Amino acid sequence: MKQWFALSAIGRDRPGIVADLAELIYECDCNLEDSSMTILGSEFAVLLLLTGEGRDIAPRLSAACKRLEWEKRLTVFFRPLDAEPIPYRASHRARRYALQAIGGDKAGIVAKLSRCLADARVNIAQMQTQSRREPESGAPIYTVQIAMDLPGDSDEQGLRERLEAIARELCIEVSLEPRET
């Protein structure tokens, strides 16, 4: 019977982390179903969705993760899932949107935007943020890019109005556009 697992790992960025994780998956007779990987500062972060079969698959994966933590100095979190994951978009007839916010770097931008989206039952599928210095003035500029799924029965106009109010409050620019997947 196919079993599903989530695995996350983080460690100092270096060549070979993806190979180490892929070999772990292969050696445990598992299949990599989905993944997301990124560099955050000097750290490499990985989220993996795996499947495997057999009664002993969970203990084998757990032991392999502990070995990888010890040998490769990664922090690994692993857990079995109750069932095959059902994408939010399919279960809520959701529509994909892209939100972008840009403005002066100040506390609360992500907190206010994400709370607004959560209150509207919007699911954040991906988010990237970046703080950089403006070339001419050196002023810190903050950018947020969000791929999100808006439930089919959502009030899009009401969401736009709440986002515009946040933009005015924080003196940032916010755009919301429908996207194809």
**What are the pLDDT tens digits along the chain (181 aa)?**
899 999 999 999 999 999 999 999 999 999 999 999 999 999 999 999 999 999 999 999 999 999 999 999 999 999 999 988 877 666 668 899 999 999 999 999 999 999 999 999 999 999 999 999 988 888 899 999 999 999 988 899 999 999 999 999 999 999 999 997 6
Q: How many domains does the chain have?
A: 2
Cα–Cα distance measured from residue 175 to residue 172, given in angstroms and rounded to the nearest whole number: 10
CATH number at residue 158: 3.30.70.260
* Stated pTM of the model: 0.82
Same domain, 94 and 160: yes
> What is the identity of the amino acid at 77?
F
Find out whether 27 and 44 touch, Cβ atoms under 8 Å.
no
CB atoms inside a 10 Å sphere around CB 83 = 8
CB atoms inside a 10 Å sphere around CB 150 = 24
Same domain, 97 and 160: yes
Find out whether 49 and 8 touch, Cβ atoms under 8 Å.
no
